[in-house]
Amino acid sequence: MEPDSTVDIVIIGAGLSGINAAYRLQKELPHRSSTILESRSRIGGTWDFWKYPGARTDSSMVMFGFEWYPWRGETRMAEAHAIRQYIEDAAVSEGIDRKIQFGHRVTSMSWSSEEQRWTLEVGASTANGSVTKKVIKAWFVMGASGYYSYEEALPAEIPGIENFAGEVVHPQFWDENIDYNNKRVVVIGSGATAITLIPALAKTAAKVIMLQRSPTYVFSLARKLPVYFWSKFLPASWTDWLNWWMGMFTELFFTTTFKHFPKFARNFVREDMRKRLPKGFDVDRHFDPRYNVLDQRLCYCPSGDFFKAFHKPNTEVVTDIIRAVTETGIQLKSGQTIEADMIITATGLYLQLLNGISVFVNGVQVDQTLGQRYVWQGAMVEGIPNAGLLIGYVATSWTPGADVRARQLIKVIKRMERTGATSMTPVADEKQRKGFPKTSCMPLSSTYVVAGRERIPMSAFVGPWRFGMNWASDIWNLMFGSITAGARYTYPRKDKTA
């Protein structure tokens, strides 16, 4: 099959991870041709996709943004539209926007050891709405489309939901036609999406109830970013650098402390929640999680807006198990009945790497066996050559993790260039592999993560077979870790393991 185009490196996805990878490539490998294939019509990825009320990041924009294009807004946790615009501005500032092919959805990618190339089959949208098929040949592929499906949400078993006469909405599929004003709304779930939704809905809904099966931890951060003393007398570039390092130090300090001192973390966060909730609020019932603080992602809210919602007479939380949904509401196991006009199922994401792209290596489909493979240096997957996954951190700010993976891939490419290798495939020693733990590279206990573990690679936490979730250790490994251990480099006319 004759390709429509040939390129050295393809990046799939024009969100935060994809734009950042493109920047790293053109700075460190300017001689390599590259393109970004984006299925949507605009830059932004997640932040162009989510439309539900109040959609925002739940980590500081200083860390969530790009190190090379500092966030200079006052808001700590920006809303979706502001993040999307920021990503676009960053891409334009470096000319990255000119490398993006919008409306290009990769449906499959096939590696040929004979060609030492990937063949990508792409559906390209045209101006009249039709889709044409294109074939693109690439030497290296970087997957930057996130870790969840845009088309499918996590299936939630809610008995009798089909009986409900009102509107049932999943936040993932929210659009501008949804009207919750003056309605009785039940939000099922207690994760980051629910924490964001509650204060936004409470402004105009007649009644808002957060119905949770089990509590979660929520921590308040100031809405505005701090202004440090050095900003008054240092150049902006120095200030940006210091702000980034202060943000990284703060994040590392708190996450490390919380992880190593779980009892302290639990008491610290619980006491903060207690102070922010109304006097007499049953904190022990509604905000006393069974797990440690960082066993699941810690939810943040700006200036306590989530807690302030419960000071209003129209907002409450109910911790119970659904017995059945009726035509007019929800019956709970306790016997309580909640009347509702709208049910919002904030029940989680459907984990899916590469957004459903079929991946073949020499004719064998491998995307369906990702959960049986180990991740290599956090960036590549066992048995898959010349391809990487740019997955950020899920327990802390996403972007530093995605960035260190991109830099790890570039390190591999540079070694291939130095040695004349045409490909690199992560390969584990079979004897050693038998002793590896079968642990997901996302070791959170959140329901949606547990449900999707068979679709996520494993981490062995030994040698190169690890998926780091701590920037300090990951950057050390990037600088001094081996890129030959567990790696099979292929050279023209002969193979050898470096």
Stated length of the chain: 498
Residue with tokens 């190169």: 464
pLDDT of the residue at 266: 95
pLDDT of the residue at 1: 59
pLDDT of the residue at 443: 78
Other beta carbons within 10 angstroms of residue 401's beta carbon come to 24
Confidence of residue 176 (pLDDT cuts 50, 70, 90): confident
Contacts of 250 (CB under 8 A, 6+ apart): none
Q: Is 289 buried (19+), middle (13-18) or exposed (0-12) by CB count in 10 A?
A: middle
Mean pLDDT of the chain: 93
pLDDT in tens, 44-74: 999 999 999 999 998 999 999 999 999 999 9
pLDDT of the residue at 386: 98
Q: Indicate whether 83 pLDDT > 70.
A: yes
Query: Which of 196-200, 205-209, 231-235, 405-409 shows the lowest per-residue confidence on average (mean pLDDT)?
Result: 231-235
Q: Please, what's the b/e burial string for 15-44 (b: 16 or more CB within 10 A of its CB; e: otherwise)?
A: bbbbbbbbbbbbeebeebebbbbbbbeebb
pLDDT in tens, 252-270: 999 999 999 999 999 999 9
Q: Which helix (H) or strand (E) holds 476?
A: helix 471-480
Q: Indicate whether 365 pLDDT > 80.
A: yes
Confidence of residue 420 (pLDDT cuts 50, 70, 90): very high
Q: Indicate whether 389 pLDDT > 80.
A: yes
- State percent of the chain over pLDDT 90: 83
Q: Indicate whether 126 pLDDT > 90.
A: no
Q: Indicate whether 317 pLDDT > 60.
A: yes
d(CA 257, CA 268): 11
pLDDT of the residue at 24: 98
For residue 409, what are the CA distances in angstroms to 20, 24, 104, 437, 487? 13, 10, 23, 25, 12
Query: Which of 303-307, 448-452, 458-462 shows the lowest per-residue confidence on average (mean pLDDT)?
Result: 448-452
Confidence of residue 494 (pLDDT cuts 50, 70, 90): low
Q: Indicate whether 359 pLDDT > 90.
A: yes
pLDDT of the residue at 448: 84
pLDDT mean over 21-26? 98
pLDDT in tens, 205-248: 999 999 999 999 999 999 999 888 888 889 999 999 999 999 99
pLDDT of the residue at 141: 98
Q: Is the dihedral of CA 121, 125, 129, 130 positive or negative?
A: negative
pLDDT mean over 317-332? 96
pTM greater than 0.85 (yes/no)? yes
pLDDT in tens, 127-152: 888 899 999 999 999 999 999 999 88
